[in-house]
Structure 1
């Protein structure tokens, strides 16, 4: 890839010529128009103009994916041609400015009158440009070092109930979860700094429980405190976590915004657990929004260490294929010569039985595997729930079926019997 240009690819749907629409897109996001205007010299155009590098057309659709008043006013109808187009942009148009980068590869494109569907599919960056943005402060290797988990998945859970617990009640639950053998415990995304459990009180109470567990066992459990807030408050909360000996904070990426996360990243070397809640609003329609490859690329430039990908056979709307593809994106370096991989965080409906399809799909264990009910609702208690998950992952890594492993491991057998696995 040319070191002074980056590239984005899109899926587009239009009743017009896709090649012409791609040129309009390139103009809209660089020179401002697809036709030459006064003052637009050849030198300026050559230096700043986005360039269409590829147009690959697919089978058309008979009906539009999205309504379009602009086309309706012009009396333009189908068939609606579909294509993947790639556009190359000059790095110098942006600089190391993440919010502006996002506005260039996306921005007004979603509102173009010429399209009845448009989706940002992927972003590719030259290494020299990637280096101008933040890298993960800890990433996969740092997370393993801080938790003492050298191999296999990190096993985690979520504080339940999501809201309502006092600081002391939260600390008591965390103490029980630590004793159950977890590597990682996180706040729910809807519980950040509530009146009933303010972070100023909850962080010291929880970390006291974590330190007591570490003193007894030598195991330092990673707690992802949800510090989602305005920027100054997030920095204060992160500082408190660090002072109390914590190693991780969590933020709801979509609602904090690029600038908030970038500022937080610059102010702390704690693990930054990126929660993607709200991503479905920009991803669930196949011909609108942003695909995960492009989405996680932008957030990795902000310096996150973990990214949520949902879970295989989980409770949300995403197909397993999308979950798996998202996890692969997280562990794929954005450029060849930099290790900027982030830890994919699996959650939503996960339990011992989903270890097998997850392993089959991705073939590695560089991941965070979080279970709520799969641990807390295990009939043998939380410790048995954690044990069942570890047993399941050990079995699949060894090429042993879960049903066979369960014959020798009662915690796994209880999980399979209770949660209804039908695996061989």
Structure 2
């Protein structure tokens, strides 16, 4: 039997679960609102989506999202049933194509009038996708090699202010960071190729600092230049970064799209740092959108090497449990050998400092990550060097199983960070 693509959903509906699930299956394959002459039994058997599983959950008395169409209830108030539903499709419907996969598993079904809530939870892809897409070229191991960090997390930061700095102003901050021993630096997602700080001029200024520091010390920080743009523009800017000695480029994933990222992956000779700006559109409501578990699989297959997962006790609306589940998902192989496992580095960021390190390590259980701190480094009472030192001390304590406060007794930079950033 041929492999099938599978997707798991959370749904809420006032209609019978089997009826609602069949509506989903029909809308996302060969069906429409009425049976047509060309929709033969043979065609439905070969190409129709299949309802594989329905797992009833709780019921609620009011819809979670507005719903215009309610079933007749003989005068009684409608009841809204929640459930998990698994659908499957034959690969023949769309072929191993990420854009068309997305239209199938996350298309019109979010608009169906039978639902007062619908959320994509997970997807399982067939081996044809592993053959059609390269997945990450560098992932965890390749990133470590280029960054010269064979163990422990990559300590990173984000250039701030987000916009407004000149190329030389950016380079001045980079000089302070590399002098203090930073491993990883990234552009903000808002800073790409604006007139006040053109990408090529920023690359010239920043790489001059990084290369000179590497020549003196042997340590070359990885800088993720934001090359988000049209495909041809990204290719030109990738080449410019590479020619200057750069070792990473960054793309805002929801802006460039799956085809844009896949094309960049075919072309790129350095790791691709993926920023998920706009992710809240998919995730913030528990009643519509998709989980990060499903979302990150698409981008990993398209070729991203690093992917943001937020951070513990962050400045956004995401809870800690979700953050850790996202990071674990990035590190979990998607395919068995000989295919690319697609394991990538999760990037922790958003109001992070030394204060969250112990909990992050305890929950994740490894250091295959990039730990990005903006204010946690630059706002440290001891300055940039104090901020970076406090993070290394916090990770040392975590890996040795020593309480943060205990380790801080003999490490003043860590003690300052705890006092300054504890919430």
TM-score bucket of the superposed structures, by smaller chain:
over 0.9
The C-alpha deviation readout for 1:376-401, integer Å capped at 9, x for no partner, is: 01111111111110110111111100
Match of 1:63 in 2: 62
Q: Does 1:15 align with 2:9?
A: no
Q: Secondary structure at the match of 1:245?
A: coil
The C-alpha deviation readout for 1:42-95, integer Å capped at 9, x for no partner, is: 332222111111100111111101112233999996211000000011111111
1:406 to 408, 411, 417: 408
CA distance in structure 2 between the partners assigned to 1:88 and 1:298 by the alignment: 17
Match of 1:152 in 2: 152
Match of 1:415 in 2: 417
Match of 1:43 in 2: 42
Deviation at 1:368, TM superposition (A): 0.5
Classify 1:357/1:116 alpha carbon distance in 2 versus 1 (closer, same or farther; 3 Å).
same
Match of 2:204 in 1: 204
CA distance in structure 2 between the partners assigned to 1:191 and 1:307 by the alignment: 18
Map 1:270-349; keep pairs closer than 5 Å. 270-337=270-337, 338-349=340-351
The C-alpha deviation readout for 1:123-145, integer Å capped at 9, x for no partner, is: 01133432322210111111000
Contact 1:127 1:336 in 2 (8 A): no
TM-score scaled by length of structure 2 = 0.96
Match of 2:253 in 1: 253
Paired residues, number: 420
Map 1:136-285; keep pairs closer than 5 Å. 136-285=136-285
Deviation at 1:313, TM superposition (A): 1.0
The C-alpha deviation readout for 1:22-52, integer Å capped at 9, x for no partner, is: 1111111111237643123333222211111
Contact 1:3 1:127 in 2 (8 A): no
CA distance in structure 1 between the partners assigned to 2:12 and 2:162 by the alignment: 41
Contact 2:305 2:344 in 1 (8 A): yes
Any gaps of 5 or more consecutive residues in structure 1? none
Deviation at 1:194, TM superposition (A): 1.1
Contact 1:15 1:77 in 2 (8 A): no
Match of 1:375 in 2: 377
Question: Once structures 1 and 2 are overlaid, which stretch shifts more, 411-420 or 284-293?
Answer: 411-420
Match of 1:90 in 2: 90
Deviation at 1:293, TM superposition (A): 0.7
Classify 1:326/1:77 alpha carbon distance in 2 versus 1 (closer, same or farther; 3 Å).
farther
The C-alpha deviation readout for 1:357-391, integer Å capped at 9, x for no partner, is: 11121111111100011100111111111111011
Contact 1:71 1:77 in 2 (8 A): no
Q: Secondary structure at the match of 2:135?
A: coil
Any gaps of 5 or more consecutive residues in structure 2? none
Contact 2:31 2:39 in 1 (8 A): no
Q: Secondary structure at the match of 2:101?
A: helix
Contact 1:330 1:344 in 2 (8 A): yes
TM-score scaled by length of structure 1 = 0.96
